[in-house]
Amino acid sequence: EALKSIGQTLSLVREQLDPSKALIGFAGAPWTVATYMLDGVARSIGKGERAQARSYAYAEPEKVAAVLDVLVEATAHYLKMQADAGAQTLKIFESWAEGLPDDLFESLVLQPHIKLVKRVRELGVTTPLIGFPRGSAALAERYAREVEVQGVALDTACPLPVGQAVQKIKTIQGALDPLLLRAGGPLLDRRVDQLMEAWGQGPWIFNLGHGIMPDVPIAHVEQVLKRIGAQ
């Protein structure tokens, strides 16, 4: 009920958006949301941003697993609400997958995402899903193989060959640096060309590697679109 206004907003946007334009909804993924929830609980166990929640995951794995299960259920219903409101694609933002060793990636990201996708489908949602395990390029292929999403978003630091490998499994999305978009100029053109050359022949949704900066000049966005359109 507290998020009802988001569904209303999506419906209004969908009504006014050109039918040829896709509307993408999104949600914070379970572990990312949990890091903010657990930060206060874990202050006596670990220090530093997100290190606190990760330390708590080591100290109390069963409790953290229970929290993640609750968040899987809540997130599934939140994504369903967005699909019902007109979102044509749904993106799962795991912003703090970054830095996790492979065993924690398994328990905190991979398994919750598998459960989340399964639950979303059980709720009758057929909308395509994009998973974004940010900062986990070394595990991106595994994520693409094991999580039943239709696309995998890649972050700014993802090496181009990794993107090519993931692209053989799933559609990829990404991965222009938001700060480069803000800077503009010839380096922006060069990076767009590099991305197009590396990924342009396969299934790929051009996008940033994370959120757009609020002070990006519109002219720089137009520069990118023009560059893409010329190729």
Q: Which helix (H) or strand (E) holds 205?
A: strand 204-208
CATH of 4-153, one of 3.20.20.210, 1.20.140.10, 3.40.50.970, 3.40.190.10: 3.20.20.210
- The predicted model scores a pTM of 0.92
Nearest to 206 by CA among 172, 183, 231, 179: 172
List the chain domain ranges. 4-153
Q: What is the pLDDT along the chain (231 residues), one digit of tens a residue?
A: 778 899 999 999 999 999 999 999 999 999 999 998 887 554 544 454 578 889 899 999 999 999 999 999 999 999 999 999 999 999 999 999 998 999 999 999 999 999 999 999 999 999 999 999 999 999 999 999 999 999 999 999 999 999 999 999 999 999 999 999 999 999 999 999 999 999 999 999 999 999 999 999 999 999 999 999 988
